[in-house]
Structure 1
Amino acid sequence: MTATRPVPAPDFVGYPEVRRGVRALLEGRPETHLRPVPACPEWTVIDLLGHLTGIAERVLVRHGGTPPPALDGPPGVPALLDRWDDVGAELDRRLAAAGGHSGEIMVMDAYTHELDLRAALGVPPPAEHAAWVPSFDVLVRGFSGSLAGRELRPLRLRTTGGSAWTAGTGRPTASVTAPAYELYRALAGRRSLGQLAELDWSEAPGPWLPAFTWGPFAPPSAPGR
């Protein structure tokens, strides 16, 4: 996989910005805490936040840390936000000390779910975000492996803003182009097969559509947001 951008900073740098973004989304909207999250059909907003907190705790343990004591009873959104910040602050320090890409999948997961929350609440995605580049790189690597594993021809992934990546093995002779947000959501399993087919493909997309099912991701049956 190659890219036409500068090499990004270590992936954990976007994690505090995700936490701040999610807190800003939820603190002023207490009426939305039980709202369903369409991108995660089995979850409400509070379920999604519990997932983010739980992932942070598991990664902290993996890096030698100890999460705070368990909360008493079913936690609400304020308690989960505070717990995520407490765990996340320790994680930030440990990931910074570890360097490299120790937290890349966690950051991608958290940023993807911030976008899920924004879609569920009708809030547009941020114009810029520190987690964007490292998260996109994780998704491109996963999609690249999916193409190679299915022995599909490589693809040139392009954004309408001018960024480009090669996914798969070899020199690509076909491409797909979309706005950066749409391409990200496509790679993260948030776009249906119909929506994927409607992107700007240089040739018929059918052969490549199965590769959008990889890892934890799969196109939803209904159009995604």
Structure 2
Amino acid sequence: MFFTTKRDAQSLQEQTGDFINKSGIYDVIIKFASVNKGDKGSISIDFNCEYKGSETTFYGLRLTNNDGSDNFQKALFNKLLVILGIDALAEPTPEDHAVGKDRQVKSFAVLTELSDQPIKIRVQYSYSMWQGEIVERREIKNFYRASDGAVASEVESGENIGAQLNKDRAYENNVTYKDGLTEAMVAEWKAAKKAGTSYTPNTGAKPATTNPFGKVS
């Protein structure tokens, strides 16, 4: 059987809501955050979020490297906890969630204290090459309190609330191009994907030696 038609209400409902499809600062709800342990020992956090009725996932906020040392993004995760007023996190709890377009049920190691938490998040798109293909990633650059845009240091001091958010507004549309890629190349790649054709840019750069996908290894 190649395809079985579904006629239930969920399968037939119209797609609603907006999508996070470019760099920016967004108001989201963390539906759940899960711990991802890599085969080589690294640990990262994936955030399954809701934005204006649409689901989106931010992968790979890395806490530790393969050797167990702290990754620089661990500090950003700590700032998130300060913003949310969380002093400590319990060990992850196994939970099943239906995710993706096909609503497939998968198991996750969930940090329950972060579930259903509203937050502002700064996301920056980046493009790099991996094994001859363009890879698109969404990197978390900062978190802000949902109510007033305060970052962690402002939450603690109670001063200059929203000052950092106002500064970050100047950079919220930034996009990172790596491995010789340009904005024009990425635009051609997106057009080719939409048309169902292939596009391989001639960057002249050496191929990347590290996996850029955001999944820990």
TM-score between the two structures when normalised by the length of structure 1: 0.29
Query: Could you say which structure has the higher strand fraction?
Result: 2
TM-score between the two structures when normalised by the length of structure 2: 0.30
